[in-house]
Amino acid sequence: MTYVEPIAHQVRLVDGTIPTAHAVQERRLSDLRGLFADREAEAALMAEDPLVYRVYDAADLPKEDGHLQFSTTVIQPGRVGDEFFMTKGHYHARADRAELYYGLSGRGMLVLQTPEGRAEALPMVAGTAAYVPPHWGHRTVNTGDEPFVFLAAYPADAGYDYGTIARDGFAGLVVAGTCGPRVVPNPRFRRDGPGT
Ligand code: F6R
Ligand code: ZN
């Protein structure tokens, strides 16, 4: 038997970073091209190409059944038109893999959808534990005016299907309203789902 060594990483609660992270992914607006509903606002902001979020992947684990990867996501505050800064969003490539999110700071929304297009949105603040069940596409949105930070723990073999979201979009968009953030239907959403 070969054992993987136990590990511990410090998550800095002041900013959500993991200084000893194995990998840091940076997503700028150009990495999310075409995902925001207001294409004119997106094009206007593209010259600046602001940072939208970073993901700190804690460990370099085998991407195999049985291992549990964990990471933090730090989403900057900001908007493209009325729509709040958000992650790209994905289904898991192994769609039956679940995930747990735990809010660390700021405020946001976890937006989910089934492959048939049923949408759900869960508000998240520091201390919120939110469950992403198997088969649900998921995206997070910063609805506040400071960075929104959460910890994610998920099977290391879950993988990412970004293509379905890039093609179909999300059923629900999170936009700024006069009484705060609200979820509105995405007129461009396609109901095809993964594997179609
Ligand atoms: C992993 C997971 C999160 C996201 C991260 C960035 O399964 O859900 O760690 O990967 O919040 O979002 P995406 O991957 O959609 O760019
Ligand atoms: Zn995920």
Res 174: pLDDT: 98
Q: For the residues 23-50, what does the mean pLDDT come to?
A: 97
Per-residue pLDDT for 148 more than 80?
Answer: yes
CA-proximal residue: ligand 1, atom 2 (nearest): 152
Is 89 close to ligand 1, i.e. is its CB under 6 Å away? yes
Is 109 close to ligand 1, i.e. is its CB under 6 Å away? no
Round the CA-based radius of gyration of the chain to a whole number and report it: 16
Pairing of strands 107-113, 137-142: antiparallel
CA distance 90 to 59: 21
Q: For the residues 36-49, what does the mean pLDDT come to?
A: 97
Pocket test residue of 55, 101, 142, 148 for ligand 1, highest count of atoms within 8 A of CB = 55
Give the 3-state secondary structure of residue 46.
Answer: helix
pLDDT single digits (tens) 69-91: 999 999 999 999 999 999 999 99
The token duo for 27 is 């997503």
pLDDT single digits (tens) 121-143: 999 999 999 999 999 999 999 99
Local confidence band at 114 (pLDDT 50, 70, 90 cut-offs)? very high
Is 90 close to ligand 1, i.e. is its CB under 6 Å away? yes
181-184: Cβ within 8 A, 24+ apart = 181/84, 181/109, 181/141, 181/143, 183/109, 183/111, 183/119, 183/121
Local confidence band at 161 (pLDDT 50, 70, 90 cut-offs)? very high
Task: State whether the Cα torsion 14-19-24-29 is positive or negative.
Answer: positive
Shortest-distance atom of ligand 1 to CA 71: 9
Local confidence band at 11 (pLDDT 50, 70, 90 cut-offs)? very high
Is 72 close to ligand 1, i.e. is its CB under 6 Å away? no
Per-residue pLDDT for 194 more than 90?
Answer: no
Res 160: pLDDT: 98
At 136, the amino acid letter reads W
φ, ψ for residue 46 (rounded to 5)? Answer: -65, -30
Res 1: pLDDT: 87
CA distance 98 to 144: 26
Q: Is the pTM of this model over 0.95?
A: yes
Buried b (16+ CB within 10 A) or exposed e, 154-191: bbbbbeebeebbeebbbbbbbbeeeeebbbeebeebee
Per-residue pLDDT for 191 more than 90?
Answer: no
Is 97 close to ligand 1, i.e. is its CB under 6 Å away? no
